[in-house]
Amino acid sequence: MKSLAVFSKGTSIKSKPTAATAFRVMVDKEVADHIRSWRLILLLVLLVLTFLGALYVSLSNIRVAVSNTQDPDSTFLYLKLLTTTDGTMPTFHVFLNFLGPLLGIALGFDAINSEQNNGTLIRLMAQPIYRDNLILAKFASALILVGALFFTLVLLMIGAGLCITGVWIEPVEVLRIFTFAVLTVVYVGFWLSLSILFSIAFKQTATSALAAIGVWLFFTVFYQIVVNLVIGALVPRQAILTEADIVGYNEMVLNILRLAPSQLFSDATTTLLMPSVRSLGPMTMEQMAGAIPAPLPFTESLMVVWPQLSGLLAATFLCFAYSYYLFMRREIRS
């Protein structure tokens, strides 16, 4: 990636630039560098192909999904485009749970250490800019690209549905789909902030990339296995459990699994794209008695997923705040 230290060569500023002007120039330069990088192009091609494949499968099976009168979500045609599958491939939001972290890691694993290894970080800091503007520009430019990508995919999905089905989209579907896009940007933003943290903590780009991928693999593949092994060892297999004990046990397991960002994203997207989901935890027979299978209003679904959304936001801010702290105290002349 080209250094930000060249941002002043093509900029004619007669007077001393303000902090806002320098920040805007750095963001523009970072966005341009990301767009021209081959790794981002390859990931974009992979995401777009995944989106088109999932959309094709859902459109091929949308008539069966909509005609199912037993499904309370069958009236939401455009939500079905994101959740319908015939079993040959996962739905698009399941793919995002897997590919979203790779996008965030690819945009941030060499954000700082590549500048220092190339000797351009000192030249950049010699410019009339603040140090915090650099890390803010790195984070903001990547989020701008991620947000533009997913909102474009959402608009393409809505446009394809309008052209093929001719069915008018409901306002509640627009709210749910765009909230899903915002949630995806937050999810990718967490992995972006984590990869930027590793790019500050490690001097070599390969080490920071491997560390970020290792964390992603642990939470995606091994975390659930470890939790099940630990819980299984603590709970006796021969114990006689009441219904309340089983509900409490399952609730404890779910709470531990929700320490993984992928589980938070999966719970939130399932609730947003399937309005009939009323709870993300186990329920007793007394709680289910008299419940009518009907879709929840958007505000109530948002209240259900608010803990997951706030958890992802808190994890993102925590990683970025620690990255900010490390970078502001780091010696860049070595």
pLDDT tens readout for residues 306-323? 989 999 999 999 999 999
What span, in angstroms and rounded, lies between the C-alpha atoms of 327 and 324? Answer: 5
pLDDT at 272 over 50: yes
Amino acid at 29: K
- pLDDT of 111 higher than 70: yes
The 10s digit of each residue's pLDDT in 51-107 is 888 888 877 777 666 666 666 666 777 888 888 777 777 888 888 888 889 999 999
- Mean pLDDT, rounded, for 254-280: 85
Whole-angstrom Cα Rg for the chain: 23
Q: How far is it, in rounded angstroms, from Cα 157 to Cα 154?
A: 5
In Å, what is the CA distance from 203 to each residue of 194, 215, 267?
15, 18, 36
Q: What is d(CA 312, CA 184) in angstroms, rounded to the nearest whole number?
A: 10
3-state secondary structure of 300: helix
Confidence of residue 244 (pLDDT cuts 50, 70, 90): low
Residues with Cβ within 8 Å of 245's Cβ and at least 6 positions away in sequence, in order, are none
Residue 237 has pLDDT above 70, yes or no: no
The CA dihedral of 8, 9, 14, 19, to the nearest 10 degrees, is: -10
Note the Cα 71 to chain centre separation in Å: 28
Of 73 and 186, more confident:
186
Q: Which pLDDT score, from 0 to 100, does residue 7 have?
A: 46
Question: What average pLDDT does range 189-205 have in this prediction?
Answer: 92
pLDDT at 128: 73
> Any residues with CB less than 8 A from the CB of 156 and at least 6 apart, and which?
51
